[in-house]
Amino acid sequence: MIPLLSSIIFLPLVGVLLVALTPSRLDKCIKYTGLLITGLGLLLSIYLVMCFDKTKSSMQFVEYCPWLTGLNISYHLGVDGLSLALIFLTALLGFIACLASLNIQEKVKEYFIFYFLLMVGMFGTFMALDLMLFYIFWETVLIPMYFLIGIWGGPRREYAAVKFFLYTLAGSVLMLLSILTVYFLAQPHTFDILKLSSVGFDPHWQMVLFLGFFVAFAVKVPLFPFHTWLPDAHVEAPTPVSVLLAGVLLKMGGYGIFRICLPFFKDAAHNLAPALAIFAVINIVYGACVAMAQTDFKKMVAYSSVSHMGFVILGVAALNSTGFNGAVLEMFNHGIITGGMFLMVGVLYDRAHTRDLSQFGGLSSSMPFYAFCLTFLSLASLGLPGLSGFVGEFLSLVGAFGHYPWLVVLAAIGLIVGVAYFLYMLQRVLLGTLNPKCVSYGDMTALDLISVVPLIIITFIVGFYPQIVLTFQQVTINGIAHLF
Amino acid sequence: MSIQFLFPELFLFAMALWVLFGSAFPSLRKISDFFATLGILGALLILPLTTNSSTVAFFDLLINDPISYFFRFLILLASVLIIFLSSGDKRIEEEHKGEYFFFILSLTVSLMLAVSSRSLLMVYITVEAVSIISYILIGYFRNDKFSSEAGLKYFLFGALSTGIMLYGVSLIYGLCGSLDLNMIANLAQGGHVFLPAFILAVVFILVGLAFKCSLVPFHMVAPDAYQGAPTAVSAFLSIGPKAMGFALLIRLFLTNQTPLIPQWTTLASGLAIITMIIGNIIALKQTNVKRMLAYSSIAHAGFMLMALSVVHQVGIQALLVYLFIYVFMNVGAFGCVILTNREEVDDYAGLSRQNPLAALIMATSLLSLAGLPPLAGFMAKFVVIAAVIQAKSYTLALIAVANSVVALFYYLRIIKVMYLSKNDCIKPINCSPVLILVLIVTVIANILLGLWPQGIMHIITLP
Amino acid sequence: MNIAHYIPLFPFLAFVINIFMGRRLKVASAYVSIAACVLAFIFSLLVFQGFSAGQGSYSLGTWLVINGKSLNFGVIVDPLTIMMLLIVTFIGCFILIYSIGYMHDDPRFSRYFAYISLFMSSMLGLVLADNFILLLIFWEGVGLCSYLLIAFWYERPAAAAAGLKAFITTRIGDTGFLVGILILFFACGTFHFTDLKSVTGPESLLTLAAILIFTGAMGKSAQFPLHVWLPDAMEGPTAVSALIHAATMVAAGVYLVARCFPLFSAHPMALQTVAVIGGISALMAATIATVNNDIKRVLAYSTISQLGLMMLGLGVGGLSAGTFHLMTHAFFKALLFLCAGSVIHAVGTQDIQKMGGLLSKMKITGATFCIGTLALAGVPPFAGFWSKDEILLTAWNNHHPILFVVALLTSFLTAFYMARLIFLVLFGSARSQLHAHESPLTMTIPLMVLSVFAAFAGFIGAPIKEVGMEAHGGSFLIMAISTVVSLTGLGLAYLLYIRRIVLIPVSSVSGLHNLLVNKYYIDEIYDYVLIKPCLRLCQGSFVFDAKIVDGLVNAMASITQFFSGLLRKTQTGLIQNYLFVQILSLVLLLIWLLKI
Amino acid sequence: MIPLVYFIFLSAFLFCVGIYGALTRRNVIGILVSIELILNAANINLVAFNKYLGTPDGMGQVFSLFVIAIAAAASVVGLILIIAIYRDRKALFTDGFTLMKE
């Protein structure tokens, strides 16, 4: 049977070679190879989802081969309920962002080379079962993202790119230390995540190592004190890159917490859960408040994803199967919804070349399709019950309510501010009298629609019947949950 | 008999003389770099034959063990890369090209002897030889005021340091009655020696070696030397003598894995911390690329010393791996400076548009120097940090890792200017085919050693 | 056979058809919606008929797994559901018919009918849901449709702002509702209504849960603290106000309290709050209505007041009284709104001071308007009298004297302001030269049908009555008192607005008058106490984020740059300094090593 | 026989004079001379230790001979560089060549 996981990871590398060989003036066919490769990746991941066995709790499609025998590093890949949804999300958003990248004009060749390297890094992070392999894929995401934001970004792109790079690197460098300490603490020295999950570290070390890992993931999730890179990176990144940045990169932090922090350091998780919950709620309320005060459309959506990722951490802090289910589902849903939202922002930016909300008004008369999609996605992202945004948040709230009732109440109040700033945005953009400047904006092209409609359909389906996604992750989540 | 051990050095010196002789004839002078490469490759071929010769050679002054074999191989590899680099540098063309390559070859010979020396006498002679040849090489462009000033400064500083080292050697000779390193080590560990005086003497010697490895308190002249010297020479300075310095540190301080003086670990980690911090922080605001690379090589020296502070077999192995990878990273970076012959950071503006290949080479080397995963620099850093954590010195590891973040900033500055800035600086690029070939080799090495470093990794086995 | 869950699907289908094929369908989209509504009505009748033949509620399948227990969705069928189904579908059909005329020249004709069908489907879904989560989903769906319909004419900024205000206010209520559900779930582990009867758990917790659930109802039924959105919701088309803000959606809050009645009745404190809040909003809204000059806002405040009355009815323990009043109120309030709509459609302005003497010009609308007013005022033969009397009766029987007086006062004020309304609009002389003309047939037929129901709903209500309602003829005294109160209200209005007799000099009451005109300054208070500080907080947090959190990060970078500049100075270029540093560090090293 | 201590003091004294000279002299050649002083101090040490501690193979004396030869070579190279700079900038004092700083 072909090594499915490795082929998904290294398919984009084939793309890199193809694109590197084609001369840069044929940018049309570079774009089509891009679509071909990401499309193939999506098909492969759909095939992966189809023949994934929901009942098995252990890793599936495992690929193992010793890579650096001297350093005990092995090339070990595997998929379980937790990473399956995220891999599918990456493949889907990768394809859709590739669709959105078709209107990139300058230096198309380098763009797609970095784009494919980014895809390799993202896929690898979700599939790696060896700590060092995980770390290497975790860091390979940085270089292409730096160049993508840096070269094709907005006016303050240099500052934003450097800030993103240094911020994430500072976090992940701490993780390197923790990985090595874990390696030397585990008695049969090993980097293998599965073996390390069963090693009981002594409580003192658990606390230190938990924080060591957690800082790296908190920077990626953007938890409260470490979130300031996100708005800058989002505002300056080109649309397809910020779709990927919001859709997938934020989930790597959450995934890391589930894969490494919780199974390795159970006692530390217990003691730190209240602190986690507090930070999560700060994230939710603070993110919502700051988003309310934004005039830049993209920055507002960036802060809204800070607020939504707060629910993921709240779900984690609940330390029970409902909370975990909510967190993982929220990660998947948030990826889909925010990916769509950034596409919407991109569509508007391509026409207006500005993101200042006060420049728009009454667009729903001149751009009906755009109005429908934007309203739908905003409603999904403000957590309207019946759409997928609500299900994840609801499960996290229910999970966390058992232990921290007052925090959940605060989070619910935070939700109100969430509703306020999204509707206020809708009012400024869509409703009211048609802004004379916006008369000339044409409605969404077929290309934009093709990239947004699948996301809307998924949001509706998952919102209507969440069991579709939950059945995949149920067994794995119960596995993690019964540790606590 | 022990002469077999010296065959590579003898062959290389013979070729050096031939190149010197050839430089008298204009026709031969033009292809003197070809002869030089021939010499080095010949030495590389002969080197494996020396493994089965006797362990001690040349009146017990030289030793033939795996470490000396590795370092001799490393130095030959470094010098062959430097020769390719120098043949690309246009300015060396007009000066007496023949002498230049003679000095390079003789520097290589003395380095090879230095790394396999077993007695303090041999140590002093080879260190002095290396210093003298590097004074000449640094001041090679006599009519360029930067190069001559750098040469003079390096001479004064170097002469003083080796003078202090010699005084230390004489004191040790007095204390231990012998110059043989093993003898001294046994005496010291046996405790038959008057410790305070012994420490004084050892510190005196450390000054000389630290100057060679450009460790911080003794690094003052290195930035000026690197900036003033011809770029190929500063590249060689940052690899050759530095490797020799670390080889001698291993020989002197860590013979058979027990530190010569009890405080070695604190001394080494203290020096390493200062070196990394000061090296990285000063590099932040440099505007001259060569000077910035000088400080980056100081910071990397701190990293290597950190590997030595781990008094365990894995520490030394980590250092060897680090040095091997460090050669390629540095040659790549300095090579780009030669390729584009631009020294100011701002001159690199828009290089990615003017010459994407040069920008790619520079970016890969810099990112590898910064230690980012898919590239070899990460493997080097990982191995050293693993050794340090294995020795449970967590604060040292923390500082090292924090420094790598600071280091990334000034590497990114150059990349930012090359790729992200809008204004372009149009300067001619001397793309001599040989230079581009060697730079592509370094890029491939950087990527290959990062992803699949089986070749080098057999040296090290983590416990 | 279980066909109940198909009822919401028909309007949803109509919504999908109208949204996607709206352009082409043009006028036909109205017929699609009406067809869906009629089908839903027929199915409701079938369910009603099926119910009397004993088919109850059933489950549809698991939707989520929470804390190990699987939460499965289902449909609940009992008298309350059937009544609501019938009301929503019945009134819905007529309002749709009415809307054809009312909206015929609107550019986004099909979208209007799409939103109305979406509303119908979520309202029907809400009524049929058998657990809190499914109810919450449709609950927010209804809130969304009211937002879309209020802001239907989004060109007008006032409409957009009103939509926003409505959604946020209801959303505040829903948050309380959500927290209430969570507390209930953790107190007794269930989301389903059926287990509410047998609910056991800590007393204080369940009361808190009940009150929080009631906040959800308050948000939706515009009760006292969260009532501010309903008057502004009048920005939307009148047909929308008739359907949503009179008959169905606002009644959802009452339906919710009725549905969870076992929970509320088990905790008297919760029931008490319901009654008190109901009383306050009834009285407050009635007083404001007496001075308001906008025809639709008067009706809006009257809706708040009547809803307050229903809540009061439920609060005093009269489940059937409250629900009966809900049923009758739906009919005559929808009628009144449609009449108002037809008046506005004809005259073009909503300010009643400019209207007058329209009865002569608009015979049918005028007549139906009077019937509706009489029904609302509670004049004996009409429907309003019976249901209001029920509430008064239960209030009296369950020993709630204060609430009884409040109810009486409210009905007096209701009679007064409704009479004032028709006297100013229909009777007297035309105060400005408005050329009024009778609305087309499509608008007047629904008026006539609804007026018939407004008149006789009291009796039609009989079959609902014997469902758990005690004997009607209890005490004629209460009936007499309520009739007298209504008539005095009408008479007073007659004196004031037809005879123009100044009973009390306006100057002495001017303070009270201003207070009422400005709606007790509640909007301003909210704005000042809640909205302004919240916006300032958000602005402050953004500044905090940009300056402090971000500032810290940039500060770290600049500190390292500063040190770099400092250390850089050490390289003076003088060889003497280098040598000096060399020797100095040698000496320091020696001191350090030898001292250890 | 003169006790060994005298020689050690002499060489230490010479060493310190050399260091002091190197640090304070403004003239480059002065620094060169001081460095030679340091080397000779080491020589004295070597020869003295070899004589008094009596290692049979005379390693110390052989070493000092090497040192003398190498010191000569070093000073030759040093002088070349000094002449090169003098010809270019006519500056012999150390503050003359501070082109490269910071």
Q: What is the pLDDT of residues B345-377, one digit of tens each?
A: 888 888 888 888 899 999 999 999 999 988 999
Would you say the C-alpha torsion A337, A339, A340, A344 has a positive or negative sign?
Answer: positive
Residue D9 lies in a domain: yes
Quick check: C110 and C18 in contact, CB under 8 A?
A: yes
Count the Cβ atoms, other than its own, within 10 Å of residue C89: 26
Residue D33 lies in a domain: yes
Residue D99 lies in a domain: no
Quick check: B207 and B168 in contact, CB under 8 A?
A: yes
CA nearest B266 in C: which residue? Answer: C593
Whether ipTM > 0.85 holds is yes
CA nearest B159 in D: which residue? Answer: D35
Residue segments in chain C with a per-residue pLDDT below the cut of 70: 1, 434, 460-475, 596
Enumerate neighbours of A (3 or more CB pairs within 8 A).
B, C
Angstrom CA distances, B345 to B232, B348, B463, C379, C562, stand at: 18, 6, 43, 92, 19
Would you say the C-alpha torsion A282, A283, A289, A294 has a positive or negative sign?
Answer: positive
pLDDT at C467: 42
What residues of A are in the B interface, CB distance below 8 Å? 68-72, 132, 135-136, 138-140, 142-143, 146-147, 150-151, 157-158, 161-162, 165-166, 169-170, 173-174, 176-177, 180-181, 183-184, 189
Residue B45 lies in a domain: no
Amino acid (one-letter) located at A220: K
Full residue range of the structural domain in which residue D63 is found? 4-93
pLDDT at C466: 46
CATH of the domain at D11: 1.10.287.3510
Q: What dihedral do alpha carbons C573, C576, C578, C583 form, nearest 10°? A: -170
Q: Which of D60, D52, D50, C582 is nearest to B204 (CA)?
A: C582
Whether residue D31 lies within 8 A of chain C, CB to CB, comes out as yes
Residue segments in chain D with a per-residue pLDDT below the cut of 50: none
Q: Which of B228, B223, B222, B221 is nearest to B91 (CA)?
A: B228
Count the Cβ atoms, other than its own, within 10 Å of residue B458: 11
Residue D14 lies in a domain: yes
pLDDT at B272: 94
> Angle at Cα C264 formed by Cα C262 and Cα C267, nearest 5°?
110
Q: What is the pLDDT of residues B394-444, one digit of tens each?
A: 999 999 999 999 999 999 999 988 888 777 777 787 778 889 999 999 999
Residue D101 lies in a domain: no
Taking the CA of residue A178 and the nearest CA in chain B, the distance in Å comes to 10
The token duo for C351 is 């300010």
Best mutation target, B263, B282, B290, B305, to test chain C (most C CBs within 10 A): B282
pLDDT at B29: 81
Helix axes A467-481, A321-352, angle to 10 degrees: 130
Residue B341 lies in a domain: yes
Angstrom CA distances, A355 to A236, A429, B80, stand at: 11, 11, 56
Q: How far apart are CA A386 and CA A379, in angstroms?
A: 10
Chain D contacts in chain C segment 537-596 (CB below 8 A): 568-569, 571-576, 579-580, 583
Q: What is the pLDDT of residues B282-339, one digit of tens each?
A: 999 889 999 999 999 999 999 999 999 988 888 999 999 999 999 999 999 999 999 9
pLDDT at C460: 65
Whether residue A481 lies within 8 A of chain C, CB to CB, comes out as no
Contact flag B285-C563 (C-beta cutoff 8 Å): no
Count the Cβ atoms, other than its own, within 10 Å of residue A174: 21
Contact flag C572-D101 (C-beta cutoff 8 Å): yes
Residue D64 lies in a domain: yes
Question: Chain D contacts of C579, Cβ < 8 Å?
Answer: 22-23, 31
Q: What is the pLDDT of residues B54-75, one digit of tens each?
A: 777 777 788 888 888 999 999 9
pLDDT at B59: 77
Residue D102 lies in a domain: no
Compute the average pLDDT of residues A236-254. Answer: 93
Q: What is the pLDDT of residues C328-372, one digit of tens each?
A: 888 889 999 998 888 888 888 888 888 877 888 888 888 888 888
Q: What dihedral do alpha carbons A341, A346, A348, A352 form, nearest 10°? A: 150
Residue B148 lies in a domain: no
Question: How many cross-chain Cβ pairs, A to B, lie less than 8 Å apart?
Answer: 85
Q: What dihedral do alpha carbons C119, C123, C124, C128 form, nearest 10°? A: 150
Residue D47 lies in a domain: yes
Strand partners, C129: C75
DSSP state of A435: P
Residue B145 lies in a domain: no
Contact flag B167-D41 (C-beta cutoff 8 Å): yes
Contact flag A386-C151 (C-beta cutoff 8 Å): no
Q: Burial letters for A213-244: b for 16+ Cβ neighbours within 10 Å, e otherwise?
A: bbbbbbbbbbbbebbbbbbbbbbbbbbbbbbb
Quick check: C207 and C267 in contact, CB under 8 A?
A: yes
Q: What is the pLDDT of residues B73-119, one digit of tens each?
A: 999 999 999 999 988 877 776 667 888 999 999 999 999 999 999 88
Q: Do chains D and A touch (3 or more CB pairs under 8 A)?
A: no
Quick check: C74 and C193 in contact, CB under 8 A?
A: no
In the block, which residue shows the tokens 């010979």? B109
Residue B455 lies in a domain: yes
Element at A75 (helix H, strand E): strand A73-79
Taking the CA of residue B367 and the nearest CA in chain A, the distance in Å comes to 9
Count of domains in chain B? Answer: 1
pTM value is 0.90
Quick check: A94 and A336 in contact, CB under 8 A?
A: no
Residue B190 has pLDDT above 80, yes or no: yes
Residue B51 lies in a domain: no
How high is the mean pLDDT of chain A?
91
Contact flag B374-A165 (C-beta cutoff 8 Å): no
Full residue range of the structural domain in which residue B414 is found? 263-463
Grade residue B1 by pLDDT with cuts at 50, 70 and 90.
low
Residue B446 lies in a domain: yes
Q: What is the DSSP string of C381-435?
A: TSHHHHHHHHHHHHHHHTT-HHHHHHHHHHHHHHHHHHHHHHHHHTSS--SS---
Whether residue B285 lies within 8 A of chain C, CB to CB, comes out as yes
- Residue C313 burial by CB count (10 A; 0-12/13-18/19+): exposed, middle or buried? buried
Contact flag C571-D26 (C-beta cutoff 8 Å): no
Q: How far apart are CA C145 and CA C135, in angstroms?
A: 15
pLDDT at C470: 46
Q: How far apart are CA B174 and CA A374, in angstroms?
A: 86
Best mutation target, A72, A176, A184, to test chain B (most B CBs within 10 A): A176
Quick check: C92 and C243 in contact, CB under 8 A?
A: yes
Residue B67 lies in a domain: no
Chain C contacts in chain B segment 329-388 (CB below 8 A): none
Residue B2 has pLDDT above 70, yes or no: no
Q: Which of A314, B125, A130 is nearest to D65 (CA)?
A: B125
Angstrom CA distances, A176 to A373, B322, B373, stand at: 42, 17, 11
Q: What is the DSSP string of C309-329?
A: HHHHHHHTT-HHHHHHHHHHH
Q: How far apart are CA C216 and CA C139, in angstroms?
A: 10
Q: What is the pLDDT of residues A84-125, one digit of tens each?
A: 999 999 999 999 999 999 988 888 888 999 999 999 999 999
Contact flag C576-D94 (C-beta cutoff 8 Å): yes
Residue B131 has pLDDT above 80, yes or no: yes
Quick check: B116 and B62 in contact, CB under 8 A?
A: yes
Compute the average pLDDT of residues B441-460. Answer: 83
Contacts of residue B385, Cβ cutoff 8 Å, sequence gap at least 6: A176, A177, A180, B397, B400, B401
